[in-house]
Amino acid sequence: MPVGDPTNPLILAAVSPDLNVDVVDANTFLAERISQFSGLTVKSRVFTSYQPVLEEMAERRVHIAWLPPITYLYASQIGLAQVAILVNHFGVYQYGSQFLANTTTEAVPYFDPISGLNSVDAATALSQFSGMRPCWVEPGSISGYILPAGILALNGIQIGEPAFTQSHSGVVRSLYVKGVCEFGATFSISGDPRTASAVLTDLPDAIERIPIIWRTDAVIPNLNIVYITGLPEDRVKALNAAFMQLAQQTDGLPLLSLAAGNYQVDAIKPGDDSLYDPLRAAVDALGLRIQDMVGK
């Protein structure tokens, strides 16, 4: 029978490392609601990690899944998945990175915090960091390493051996105290770690001392909903319509948030793969083995 028939249900996959009962129950209810709105039969399965989700997609035993950005890039690369529904998380559908430096380095800022715009392109703004040592968050951080380091690589800017601080606030603190690195990068657009209460409590002038030198566009996708490749077009249209109808219900967004593993969903909209191209270019420029980064 065709997929979505009661005897051949569509399977919705989510990940909860500890199989949290609320997340499991939310996905069961989410599958029921999508069934109700689409007229298709949808069931849910919750996994403890993303690797078995991809394996089940390869066997065509999972048809709908929540996937984070690097994991989606890998699933797309090997022909398993196509992004379907974009998630608005903390008010944005995508976020970015910002390059920071201590004012004592005399780095020239090319970002206007009032207009929120850069005055020059990446190559012009970031060439001043040539040969300098960066502070990155950690090798799996998209906004704190992969995107900014990828942009430098794409523009042929050679840098020194990096220091990994393990947190975005750690990058800010390292730049503030000096001596660890000469520039760094953190997430941006969805927020700013320089304004975090944990930073401002003991570094009240962090914003003045650590200005934004240049900021990327919002090009990092959130945790999104994807469908298996080759899903019949009528199924795709019915599922898309069902998710959008659910989002308009009073309990729709809270249900999606819980089903995504307590990942705040503020809105949703249909999306396409081109959204991932800037991140894909950064990954390629760094030569990363994204098959080793499933879960990111």
Concatenated DSSP letters for 6-48? TTB-EEEEEE-TT--HHHHHHHHHHHHHHHHHHSS-EEEEEES
Cα-based distances in Å from 68 to 29, 218, 243, 268, 276: 22, 16, 18, 15, 11
Residue 285 maps to a domain? no
Domain total of the chain: 2
Domain range for 32? 10-91+222-275
At 276, the amino acid letter reads Y
Residue 5 maps to a domain? no
Phi, psi of 149 (to 5 degrees): -65, -35
For the stretch 139-189, pLDDT in tens is 999 999 999 999 999 999 999 999 999 999 999 999 999 999 999 999 999
User: Are 105 and 198 within one domain?
Assistant: yes
User: Are 117 and 170 within one domain?
Assistant: yes
What CATH number is attached to the domain comprising 45?
A: 3.40.190.10
User: Are 54 and 108 within one domain?
Assistant: no
Q: What percent of the chain has pLDDT over 70?
A: 100
Residue 2 maps to a domain? no
User: Are 102 and 178 within one domain?
Assistant: yes
Q: What is the rounded distance in angstroms from the CA atom of residue 159 to the CA atom of residue 127?
A: 10
User: Are 16 and 45 within one domain?
Assistant: yes
Residue 283 maps to a domain? no
Residue 15 maps to a domain? yes
Residue 287 maps to a domain? no
User: Are 122 and 134 within one domain?
Assistant: yes
Last residue of a domain, one of 215, 240, 255: 215
For the stretch 9-37, pLDDT in tens is 999 999 999 999 999 999 999 999 999 99
pTM: 0.94
3-state secondary structure labels for all residues of 82-151: EEEEEEEECCECEEEEEEECCHHHCCCCCEECCCCEECCCHHHHHHHHCCCCEEECCCCCHHHHHHHHHH
Element (H, E) at 254: helix 252-259
User: Are 18 and 106 within one domain?
Assistant: no
User: Are 134 and 23 within one domain?
Assistant: no
Q: What is the DSSP letter of 178?
A: -
Nearest CA to 131 among 174, 185, 181? 181
For the stretch 245-275, pLDDT in tens is 999 999 999 999 999 999 999 999 999 999 9
User: Are 176 and 269 within one domain?
Assistant: no
